[in-house]
Amino acid sequence: MLSLGSGGGKPVKPSFVSYVTPEEIKSTERETSRKEKHPDLLPGEVVFCSTNPVLKYTQDDVSQRGIFGTLVCTNFRIAFVSDEAPSEEQAQLFKNKLYGENDIPLTCVDHIYGGYDEKKKLITGGLVRNKYPSKIIIHCKDLRVFQFSLTYAKEEEAKKIFQGIIHHSLEPKSLKCIFAFSYCEKATATPEIHRTPRTVMFDTVEDWTQEMKRTKGNCKVVSANENFSLSQKLPQFFIMPTAVLDEDMTKFEGKGLPIWCWSHHSGCALFKTASLPLMQEDGYSQAYKIYMERMLNAVAQTHLYSVKTEELSDTLPTIQDIQQSYSRFKQFFLIDNTTEFWLSDMKWFSSLENSGWLDIIRQCLQKAVEVVECLEKENTNVLIMEEAGSDLCCVISSLVQLMLDPYCRTLAGFQSLVQKEWVAGGHSFLDRCNHVHQKDKEQFQSPVFLLFLECVWQLLQQHGPAFQFSETYLTVLSDSVHVPVFGTFLFNSPYHRATVMKNDSPQTQRGPLNCPEVWDWSLQFERKAQDLFTNPLYAEKPKQDKGARRTYRPKHQRQLSLPSSAFKTPPKKGFFKEETDSLKKMLRVKRISRWLHSPDSAQASTREFYEAWQRKPLDYHSLILPCLDGPAMRVWMQRYLRWIHEVQIFGGGAITVMSKLADLVGEVQELRRELERQACRADSNHQRAAASHRSSVRLSSSFPFATSRVWSFKPAIPTSLLQSLMITGGLADQDDEDGETLGVV
By CB under 8 A, the residues from 705 to 724 that bind another protein are: 713-718, 721-722, 724
Give the C-alpha separation, 143 to 671, whole Å: 41
CB-wise, 397 or 696, nearer to another protein?
696
Does 738 bind another protein (CB under 8 A)? Our answer is yes
Does 744 bind another protein (CB under 8 A)? Our answer is yes
Does 657 bind another protein (CB under 8 A)? Our answer is yes
Give the C-alpha separation, 136 to 621, whole Å: 50
CB-wise, 584 or 673, nearer to another protein?
673
Q: Give the chain's length.
A: 745
CA distances for 524 relative to 39, 97, 265, angstroms: 16, 5, 37
DSSP states along 123-168 = E-SS---S---SEEEEEETTS-EEEEE-TTS-HHHHHHHHHHHHHH
Q: Which of 325, 380, 419, 648 binds another protein (CB under 8 A)?
A: 648
Q: Which of 644, 698, 4 is nearest to 336 (CA)?
A: 644
Does 741 bind another protein (CB under 8 A)? Our answer is yes
Site for another protein in 663-692 (CB under 8 A): 664-665, 667-669, 671-672, 674-676, 678-680, 682-683, 686, 688
Q: Which of 33, 130, 188, 544 binds another protein (CB under 8 A)?
A: 544
DSSP states along 639-706 = HHHTT-GGG--BT-SHHHHHHHHHHHHHHHHHHHHHHHHHHH-TTS---PPPP----GGG-BTTTTSS
Does 650 bind another protein (CB under 8 A)? Our answer is yes
Q: What is the C-alpha end-to-end distance of the chain, expressed in Å?
A: 58
Beta bridge partners of 119: 116
Does 608 bind another protein (CB under 8 A)? Our answer is yes
Site for another protein in 180-239 (CB under 8 A): none
Give the interface segment with another protein, choosing from 173-181, 278-286, 428-436, 728-736 (CB under 8 A). 728-736
CA distances for 535 relative to 469, 502, 541, angstroms: 5, 39, 14
Minimum CB separation from another protein for residue 362, in Å?
10
Q: Which of 219, 261, 552, 298 is nearest to 404 (CA)?
A: 261
Site for another protein in 347-366 (CB under 8 A): 347-350, 352-354, 358
Minimum CB separation from another protein for residue 199, in Å?
24
| 679 Rama sector, left if φ>0, alpha if ψ -120 to 50, beta otherwise | alpha
Give the C-alpha separation, 323 to 396, whole Å: 17
Q: Which of 635, 638, 643, 706 binds another protein (CB under 8 A)?
A: 635
Angle 143-450-138 (CA atoms, 0-180°, nearest 5)? Answer: 20
Minimum CB separation from another protein for residue 370, in Å?
17
Minimum CB separation from another protein for residue 388, in Å?
31
Q: Which of 345, 504, 531, 619 binds another protein (CB under 8 A)?
A: 345
Cβ within 8 Å of residue 19, ≥6 positions away = 63, 65
Give the interface segment with another protein, choosing from 146-154, 164-172, 198-206, 735-743 (CB under 8 A). 735-743
Does 541 bind another protein (CB under 8 A)? Our answer is yes
Helix (H, G, I), strand (E, B), or coil: what is residue 15?
Answer: coil
Q: Which of 627, 694, 707, 708 binds another protein (CB under 8 A)?
A: 627
Does 548 bind another protein (CB under 8 A)? Our answer is no
Give the C-alpha separation, 602 to 114, whole Å: 49
Give the C-alpha separation, 52 to 595, whole Å: 63
Determine the number of helices (DSSP H) and then strands (DSSP E) in the chain: 26, 16
Cβ atoms < 10 Å from Cβ of 65: 20
CB-wise, 554 or 631, nearer to another protein?
631
CB-wise, 163 or 462, nearer to another protein?
462
Instruction: Please answer whether residues 533 and 521 qualify as being in contact, where contact means their C-beta atoms are separated by less than 8 angstroms.
Output: yes
Instruction: Please answer whether residues 474 and 465 qualify as being in contact, where contact means their C-beta atoms are separated by less than 8 angstroms.
Output: no
Instruction: Please answer whether residues 336 and 137 qualify as being in contact, where contact means their C-beta atoms are separated by less than 8 angstroms.
Output: yes
Helix (H, G, I), strand (E, B), or coil: what is residue 574?
Answer: helix
Q: Which of 25, 49, 513, 661 binds another protein (CB under 8 A)?
A: 661
The site that binds another protein (CB under 8 A) totals a number of residues, namely 99
Minimum CB separation from another protein for residue 387, in Å?
29
Does 697 bind another protein (CB under 8 A)? Our answer is yes
Does 654 bind another protein (CB under 8 A)? Our answer is yes
Minimum CB separation from another protein for residue 628, in Å?
9
Minimum CB separation from another protein for residue 598, in Å?
16
Q: Which of 451, 318, 309 is nearest to 385 (CA)?
A: 309
Minimum CB separation from another protein for residue 708, in Å?
13
Give the C-alpha separation, 98 to 86, whole Å: 17
Instruction: Please answer whether residues 11 and 3 qualify as being in contact, where contact means their C-beta atoms are separated by less than 8 angstroms.
Output: no
Minimum CB separation from another protein for residue 488, in Å?
31
Site for another protein in 416-475 (CB under 8 A): 463-465
Q: Which of 89, 615, 617, 692 binds another protein (CB under 8 A)?
A: 615
Minimum CB separation from another protein for residue 630, in Å?
3
Does 641 bind another protein (CB under 8 A)? Our answer is yes
Does 652 bind another protein (CB under 8 A)? Our answer is yes
CB-wise, 516 or 536, nearer to another protein?
536
Does 343 bind another protein (CB under 8 A)? Our answer is no
Give the C-alpha separation, 65 to 57, whole Å: 6
Minimum CB separation from another protein for residue 549, in Å?
16
Site for another protein in 282-341 (CB under 8 A): 341
CB-wise, 25 or 612, nearer to another protein?
612
Does 616 bind another protein (CB under 8 A)? Our answer is no
Give the interface segment with another protein, choosing from 14-22, 94-102, 272-280, 611-619 (CB under 8 A). 611-619
Does 267 bind another protein (CB under 8 A)? Our answer is no
Minimum CB separation from another protein for residue 529, in Å?
22
